[in-house]
Amino acid sequence: MLEDLLVETASSLTIDETASRLGIDRTRVHHRLRHGELDAFPLGRQRRLPAWQLTDDGHALPGLAPVLAALPKGLHPASVAGFFTTPDPTSTT
């Protein structure tokens, strides 16, 4: 799991980087985190946001909040990333 965490950390964003990508103030990022609209994990004294939850055009993934809410609390960041970034072989889309 340590290797997975290192990979996840390398592709994560700070609060300020996330705010810049979304075109919003950092306080809005904190608001979205509090309301479960974005995901973050602790890294030392920082909170890091996985880059996979943002689209290339600067938006949060559509429908992210209800899926985050349905995940068990306390999942390892690499497990959450794997859930969101691993293709479903049974999907028809």
pTM of the model: 0.82
Listed as ranges, residues in the chain with pLDDT below 50 are: 2, 5-6
- The per-residue pLDDT for 65 is 95
Range of the domain at 10: 2-80
Q: Into how many domains does the chain fold? A: 1
| Residue 89 falls inside a structural domain | no
Residue 87 located in a structural domain: no
Q: Is residue 90 part of a domain?
A: no
Cα separation, 34 vs 76, in Å, equals: 19
Domain-embedded: residue 91 = no
| DSSP calls for the chain | -HHHHHHHHHTEE-HHHHHHHHTS-HHHHHHHHHTTSS--EEETTEEEEEGGGB-TTS-BPTTHHHHHHHSPTT--HHHHHHHHHS--TT---
> Would 93 be classed as within a structural domain?
no
Q: How far apart are CA 46 and CA 50, in angstroms?
A: 13
10 lies in some domain: yes
Tens of pLDDT, residue by residue over 51-70, are: 999 998 889 999 999 999 99
Q: What is the mean pLDDT of the chain?
A: 88
Residue 7 has a pLDDT of 52
